[in-house]
Amino acid sequence: MVVANRHLPFPHPPPIARPYISPTVKTFVSLPHSTEAVIPTMTSSSRKLQVMTPVPSDIDIANSVEPLHISEIAKDLNLSPLHYDLYGKYKAKVLLSAFDELQDREDGYYVVVGGITPTPLGEGKSTTTVGLCQALGAYLNKKVVTCLRQPSQGPTFGIKGGAAGGGYSQVIPMDEFNLHLTGDIHAITASNNLLAAAIDARMFHEASQSDKALFNRLCPVNKEGKRSFTDVMFRRLRKLGISKTSPDELTPEEVKRFARLDIDPESITWRRVMDVNDRFLRKMTVGQGSEEKGMIRETGFDISVASEIMAVLALTTSLDDMRERLGTMVIGNSRAGEPITADDLGVGGALTVLMKDAIHPTLMQTLEGTPVLVHAGPFANIAHGNSSIVADKIALKLVGPGGFVVTEAGFGSDIGTEKFMNIKCRYSGLRPQCAVVVATVRALKMHGGGPGVVAGRPLDHAYVSENVSLVEAGCVNLAKHISNIKAYGVNVVVAVNVFSTDTEAELNAVRKFSMDAGAFDAVICSHHAHGGKGAVDLGIAVERACQNITQPLKFLYPLDISIKEKIEAIAKSYGASGVEYSDQAEKQIEMYTQQGFSNLPICMSKTQYSFSHDASKKGAPSGFVLPVRDVRGSIGAGFIYPLVGTMSTMPGLPTRPCFYEIDIDTVTGKVVGLS
């Protein structure tokens, strides 16, 4: 991940008390609240950072700090050894039984971190999430848990790099966080591809067998001369309305309905996955072997984190709930138009077995020794882009009353925070007290009409010299994000990730505009350069926001309205005047409605670089018509996702991928070059 101030660190740490001195213009900057009475001190279990200027590379910082044994982190959370399994010295799986034991305990405060519409470089959202938690835990003596998504290896080896935060606000060990971790993504890959194999195998066998032969193989006679149904077969029988318990009782018509799925190949939406950026697998054909003649069909690969199984993991609330969600995933339709599920294929139970360890969140730590739960990593375009419900629920119990759980929502708040509220909070039953919106002067200048920002190219002069009018013009984007989040009944705190080139006038303009737009507070932050010390003011502001919540959580739309009405409610929040549906989208909406799925929430799939569908439209565009080209369903995960524009679910590698930098020191065994 490229963070806001990675290459432009503060030359000197800012003093904690007022007044704050801008390192660029050497004059006073008016910040939101005086902390003269608050003397930040490290808690006894925290680690004091020795920061350097300029800020070293992320991996060098990560390698310079020896992590605490993970049992020490667990002990600080009052986690019993009975409730976690060690994965080496620095990672542990926190078992769901921890929540069961603490379920009567009052929750802590719940904070979600989103952002303004970002530049392609990213504005430091993960870094802010980690820095805020380091400030709360290491300096403000609060119980805190950071909840983050597990990064895909695609971006790690591709163009963005990892997602452990950056600078002096990171999760460690950084290399383990960004690579295999505890194998959850590998479990998703195996589960996804087992289901893909089951689909093609079932079509192959149905094509060459009669109904009776198919049934006899599905329900063979055992050694005692009897037939029986497996547990997963009873799920299909119930779906068909057949209450019989013995295979021998079925009529020929019932045998046909039970045994023959008759999958329409053109309707199959399930694709194979792998956790590598490989553009040449986006489209491919299967069934070209000599034994599969006549079974050729076009399909392709997605990246593993785009699998619906990842979204299921993120939205599930228990092992039983995960079993149900995996079994009800729809892979396509029969030729009669009936949805075909994983349980119809008989594989729902096996998928759950492959995922049984992945359901437990992974405990890690920040550079300053505060605890982190890493779990799930759904795409923020075609899925909801948030870490898991079970991690958040466990964390809220662990921190208890007065503690804080800070979780990150993917991309800008128009995508990630909207989906956090309308999808994740619906299924979890949780409500946030505060939403942080991460902004940078750089991004606001872009939205004010500045030149294009392109990853890998030097920034234009406009971004490294003072231009208050450009910042003020771009603040319309920030104001729109603030307004949208406030509509949920949640207090908004703006976190401005500062660059060394930002000036007093520019920073004050952002803060003033934020307050005028209705933010609860706006804070200048330097956690990338200084760790938790640089986010103490943000921590204080977030605590005040949480303590001053007065409204219930409000959703953007009710679930009992039509699919189109829900889509249009979200489009209106973007600034659209209306929605235009393709013929394919109309067809899919009608089908999902007939199949009984219209009561699911909506997960819009659109660009993260604009409120609109057009990435080139910056600021806060309005009056545009949002084009919905297709509508698809992640029925097991529990949402319908309209496709606005073209979203790639299998990224490609650039000319010079990140893997050019990544290697291992064969003397120390440490990874080098990760970013």
Between CA 371 and CA 368 the distance in angstroms is 9
Taking phi first (over 0 means left), then psi (-120 to 50 degrees means alpha), and beta for anything else, what does residue 669 get?
Answer: left
Helical (H) or strand (E) element with 365: strand 362-366
Under CATH, which number does the domain 185-337 receive? 3.30.1510.10
Give the angle subtended at the CA of 179 by the CAs of 175 and 185, to the nearest 5°.
150
**Stated length of the chain:** 675
Q: Which residue has the tokens 């892979």?
A: 331
Whether 362 and 92 have beta carbons less than 8 Å apart is answered as: yes
Cα separations (Å) of 646 from 64, 382, 629, 650? 42, 11, 9, 12
Provide the pLDDT for residue 675.
Answer: 74
Nearest in space to 134 (alpha carbons), one of 387, 369, 364:
369
Cα–Cα distance, 403 to 622 (Å, whole number)? 40
At 8 the pLDDT is 30
Q: What is the DSSP letter of 281?
A: G
d(CA 202, CA 340): 12
How many other CB atoms sit within 10 Å of the CB of residue 465? Answer: 9
Q: Looking at residue 46, what is its pLDDT?
A: 66
Radius of gyration of the chain (CA): 26
| SS3 (DSSP) at 536 | helix
DSSP state of 513: H
Largest CA distance in the chain: 90
564-602 core/surface letters (b: 16 or more CB in 10 A; e: else): bebbbbbbebbbbeebebeeebeebbebbeeeebbebbb
CB half-sphere exposure, 385, CA atoms < 13 A: 29
pLDDT at 68 (0 to 100): 96
* pLDDT for the residue numbered 7: 30
Same fold, 185-337 and 563-643: no
Pick the CATH number of 58-82+93-99+107-183+357-547 from 1.10.1200.10, 1.10.4080.10, 3.40.50.300, 3.30.420.240: 3.40.50.300
User: 617 is written with which tokens?
Assistant: 């439209």
Q: Which helix (H) or strand (E) holds 352?
A: helix 348-355
Cα distance between residue 40 and residue 57, in whole Å: 26
**Euclidean distance between CA atoms 171 and 549, whole angstroms:** 30
Report helix, strand or coil for 658: helix
Across 84-158, where does the E strand assignment appear? 84-86, 92-94, 109-115, 144-148
Reference 447, options 270, 609, 206, 597; nearest CA is 609
DSSP-derived 3-state class of residue 152: coil
Continuous segment of H or E residues that includes residue 70? helix 70-76
Question: How far apart, in whole angstroms, are the C-alpha atoms of residue 235 and residue 604?
Answer: 31
Phi/psi at 172 (nearest 5 deg)? -130, 155
Q: Report yes or no: 122 and 446 within 8 Å, Cβ to Cβ.
A: no
pLDDT of amino acid 26: 29
Strand partners, 486: none
Where do the domains of the chain lie?
A: 58-82+93-99+107-183+357-547, 185-337, 563-643
pLDDT of residue 45: 54
CB atoms within 10 A of CB 45: 16
CA distance 624 to 613: 9
Peptide linkage before 151 cis (omega within 30 of 0): no
Alpha carbon 52 to its chain centroid, in Å, reads 31
Residues with pLDDT less than 50, the chain: 1-44
- The answer to whether domain 563-643 has CATH 3.10.410.10 is yes
Q: Quick one: pLDDT at residue 398?
A: 97
